[in-house]
Structure formats: structure tokens, C-alpha cells
Amino acid sequence: MGQKVLLSSKEINIILHRLACQLLENHEDFKDTVLIGIQPRGIYVAERLVKILLEEYKVKHIDLGFLDITFYRDDFRRGEKTLEATKTKINFLVEDKKVVLIDDVLYTGRSINAALTALQSFGRPREVELLTLIDRRFSRHLPIQPNYRGRQVDAIDNEKVKVMWEENDGEDIIYLINR
């Protein structure tokens, strides 16, 4: 099993700042916008972006939620193991809001499809955008594309993108692993 570094800590930091600026351009004071990190790994990207926006770009307030999509997935009963649920924490209404869904890796698009279904349980957003740190193009099963992407990667099916975060794994680094 070989692995190569796709993005270093410094590159991840630059990309996160760029993504934060792009969000700022489109959503200004975030009054009508809410950010929702998709569990389990999208929440790290979402938390980092919120931190940059609040601390470095002095946005006053951002609503951030975490969305678990386990019960909305279309692969229930297809895998070897029972799907493990994580916490949903959305303490605000998404009704008539601009929602930015945030995930670490966009691969087949099925997780985002499930997230769009799950989001309907919290109201009818005015519009939904997608932000993803890594976009594995050519791997999509569904017609889903991100509005904001950190890095586009051409990875084949037996390669895996592994995103590691300092708070969880000790360092910020993204590997491309050949399984």
C-alpha cells in the first residue's frame, strides 16, 4: 500500500483561506447564510472555515450546524456493517436561508445526495451550495458538483483520499493512498 502527500499543512491552510474569501465574497455578513458541516469529517473543514471568517475576516456571527446523514443514505443494507450514526446539531432554522453544505471529499456524490434529503427535515432553504476541500472528479455517480472546491484530484477507484486534521490526527495533511 503506497501513499503520497496530496496536500501539506501549509497548502491546506492556503486553500482554507481562499475558500473563506470565496464564501465572504458571496455571502458578505452571513446574515442570511448558514454553514452545515456533513458528519463525520466535513465538520472539521466547516469549523476551520468559521474560525478563519470570525477571527481573521471579522465576521460578527456565523450559524454553524452539523448534519448526520446516516439514516438518509441509499446504501443501507448493502454494506458489510451497520452504518454508524453521528450527532446532528442544527440549532437554527434553515427555512428561507442560503445553506452552504461542507464536506472534506466529494467522491460519488451519494453522501451529498443524502445530505440534500436530510436537509429537507429542517425546512426549505432558499438555495443550497456545496463546498468541498477535495473534489475527486471522474468518480461521480450522480450529477452533483461543488460550488467551491479546494483541490481537484484525478484519482482512480482503488485510490483513497485520506484527510487528517491536527485536532484529531495530530497534523493537517492529505494523503492519496493506493489500496
Partner 1 sequence: MSELSVNHLLGIKYLKESDIQLIFETADHFKEVINRSIKKVPSLRDITIANIFFENSTRTKLSFELAEKRLSADVLNFSASQSSVKKGETLIDTVNNILSMKVDMVVMRHPNPGAGIFLAKHVKASIINAGDGAHEHPTQALLDSFSIREKLGDVAGKNVVIVGDILHSRVALSNIFALKLQGANVKVCGPKTLIPKYVESLGVGVEMDLKKALEWCDVANMLRIQNERLDISYFPTTREYTQQFGVNKRLLDSLDKEIVIMHPGPINRGVEITSDVADSKQSIILNQVENGVAVRMAVIYLLASKIKQ
Binding site for partner 1 (CB under 8 A): 68, 70-73, 76-78, 81-88, 117-118, 120-123
Q: CA-CA distance, 30 to 117, in Å (whole number)? A: 23
Residue 173 beta carbon to partner 1: minimum distance, rounded to whole angstroms: 26
> CA 11 to CA 16: how far, in whole Å?
9
CB of 150 to partner 1, least distance (A): 29
- Here the cell at position 99 is 445553506
* Residue in 116, 107, 106, 104 with CA at minimum distance from that of residue 174: 104
Three-state SS for 41? coil
Burial classification of residue 11, based on how many CB atoms lie within 10 Å of its CB (0-12 exposed, 13-18 middle, 19 or more buried): middle
Closest approach, Cβ 144 to partner 1, in A, equals: 18
Name the minimum Å distance from CB 36 to partner 1.
Answer: 14
Of 17 and 73, nearer to partner 1 (C-beta) is 73
Residue 82 C-beta: closest distance to partner 1, Å: 4
Decide whether 22 or 70 has the Cβ nearer to partner 1.
Answer: 70
Nearest Cα neighbor of 53 from 89, 17, 98, 26 is: 17
Query: Measured from the CB atom, is 70 or 139 closer to partner 1?
Result: 70
Which of 123/177 has CB closer to partner 1? 123
Describe the chain by its helix, strand, coil percentages, rounded to 5: 30, 30, 40
- Smaller CB distance to partner 1: residue 40 or 147? 40
